[in-house]
């Protein structure tokens, strides 16, 4: 009986120390999104937990994903054209990213890691080219709306 109790106690203790499983999210790199907008990431805005990963999938060829504005302690990334890349997001904050060949056409995205991140550096957002700046403003508004829900 003591053996069963000991094994049960050990199993319960082991389960309590296992961290929650990180999720993998997928972002498609597209010539046209489901709303008909050209050169887009879909979804363009994600809210994820620290430790989650995002896989950027080149559904349509000729795209990449690379970081533009990230938290100070975070690690930058730069995917190759037409190549899948998986990025792990450990630091809380906002991560703005772009498709290098199509950033001028507004192909940018935003990832919110955690529930209460610091706002994006507005000066850095203002340096994005025209359509990218406009699209990023839309994504920031979407993030703000989801934070207040």
Q: Is residue 6 part of a domain?
A: no
Write out the binding residues. 63, 99, 102, 107
Number of domains in the chain: 1
Task: For Cα atoms 57, 67, 92, give the angle at the middle one, nearest 5 degrees.
Answer: 100
Q: Which residue positions in the chain have pLDDT lower than 50?
A: 4-8, 10-18
Q: Quick one: 68 exposed, middle or buried, by C-beta within 10 A (0-12, 13-18, 19+)?
A: buried
Q: Is residue 120 part of a domain?
A: yes
CATH of the domain at 39: 2.60.40.420
Which pLDDT value is given to residue 146? Answer: 78
- Domain boundaries, position 73: 22-147
Q: Is residue 59 part of a domain?
A: yes
Write out the binding residues for Cu cation. 63, 99, 102, 107
pLDDT tens digits, one per residue of 6-27: 444 544 444 443 456 889 999 9
Which pLDDT value is given to residue 8? Answer: 45
pTM of the model: 0.84
């Amino acid at each position: 009986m003591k053996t069963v109790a000991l094994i049960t106690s050990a199993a319960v203790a082991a389960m309590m120390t296992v961290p929650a499983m990180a999720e993998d999210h997928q972002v498609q790199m597209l010539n046209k999104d489901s709303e008909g907008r050209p050169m887009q990431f879909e979804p363009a805005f994600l809210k994820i937990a620290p430790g989650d990963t995002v896989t950027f999938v080149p559904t349509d060829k000729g795209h990449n994903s690379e970081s533009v504005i990230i938290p100070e302690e975070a690690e930058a990334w730069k995917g190759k054209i037409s190549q899948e890349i998986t990025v792990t997001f450990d630091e809380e904050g906002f991560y703005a990213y772009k498709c290098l060949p199509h950033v001028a056409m507004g192909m940018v995205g935003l990832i919110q890691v955690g529930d209460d991140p610091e706002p994006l550096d507005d000066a850095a957002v203002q340096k994005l080219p025209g359509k990218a700046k406009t699209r990023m403003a839309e994504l920031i508004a979407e993030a703000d709306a989801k934070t207040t829900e």
